[in-house]
Amino acid sequence: MTIEIYAFPPSPRAFLAMALANHLGLDWTLRALDLPKGEHKTAEFAALNPNMRIPTLKEGDYVLWESGAILQYLAGKKPQSGLLPTDETGRLNVTRWQFWDACHWDQACAIYLFENFVKPVIVKGGEPDQAALTRGAELFHRAAKVLDGQLKRNKFVAGDRLTVADFSIGAPLNYAQAARIPLEDYPEITRWYAALRALPAWQKTLAQCGLPTAAAA
Ligand SMILES: N[C@@H](CCC(=O)N[C@@H](CS)C(=O)NCC(=O)O)C(=O)O
């Protein structure tokens, strides 16, 4: 049965689900919703996801929302991929980084994305709020130091193998230049993101999302 992914392709949260589905070679189809046009605020979509947020996954009668859970569901389709380890400590290690992403990394990156890109470029809503960016910098550097340290000792976020955590933590960095996310002091994050970006599925998804496909600077 085809997996339907409801997504707004420019969103990093959409990207991560699409990229993992591509990486796993799953049979999936995009149900594009234009967020600026409010296409997610319909009764039909609210019946699938009462939060009226993307990504949302549907396979037959089964519906799942929250990007981290969607990644686990997709990885479960191909357990042999190792993208979500099946042993308990391995799985919890990956899950730990997914929670870290949801609680720390995502919100720090989201401030840069919104203030430096979405607000001025997409919604033409005026200049960035400097107080928000100051708070973003505080959150970002605190989290980036942890991630850079982890990547100094490991090829990927959860160890020496690619996992679902790399997909979610890497996705906002597609906007690193456009959103002026300050990566200068984090060589390991830059090295790791370049490796993710070189994955064929990452490149394919960038193209599907209408994002530049050039190698990371
Ligand atoms: N915690 C959720 C966040 C989902 C989310 O906020 N998605 C945004 C796009 S990145 C959205 O749908 N926003 C629509 C809105 O806020 O109305 C997840 O990881 O799936």
Containing structural domain, residue 49 = 3-81
Ligand 1 binding pocket, CB closer than 6 Å: 11, 13, 35, 40, 52-55, 66-67
Encoded tokens for 144: 């980036």
What's the gap in Å between 147 CA and the centre of ligand 1?
23
Whether residue 172 sits in one domain with residue 150: yes
Indicate which CATH number applies to the domain containing 28.
3.40.30.10
Whether residue 184 sits in one domain with residue 116: yes
Whether residue 94 sits in one domain with residue 72: no
CA distance 132 to 53: 23
Ligand 1 binding pocket mutation candidate from 54, 98, 175 (most atoms within 8 A of CB):
54
Average pLDDT per consecutive 10 residues, the chain (217 residues; last block may be shorter):
96 97 98 96 98 98 98 98 97 98 98 95 89 98 98 98 98 97 98 98 97 80
Whether residue 114 sits in one domain with residue 98: yes
Whether residue 41 sits in one domain with residue 66: yes
Enumerate residues 6+ apart whose C-beta is below 8 A from 215: 194, 197, 198
Number of domains composing the chain: 2
Whether residue 92 sits in one domain with residue 71: no
**pLDDT tens readout for residues 16-63:** 999 999 999 999 999 999 999 999 999 999 999 999 999 999 999 999
Answer with the one of 52, 81, 110 that is the final residue of a domain.
81
Instruction: Sort 208 into a burial class: Cβ within 10 Å, 0-12 / 13-18 / 19+.
Output: middle
What's the gap in Å between 87 CA and the centre of ligand 1?
30
* Residue 189 placed within a domain: yes
Enumerate residues 6+ apart whose C-beta is below 8 A from 58: 3, 4, 6, 31, 48, 64
What's the gap in Å between 54 CA and the centre of ligand 1?
5
Whether residue 17 sits in one domain with residue 101: no
- Of 217, 216, 209, nearest to 5 by C-alpha is 209
At 11, is the secondary structure helix, strand, or coil?
Answer: coil
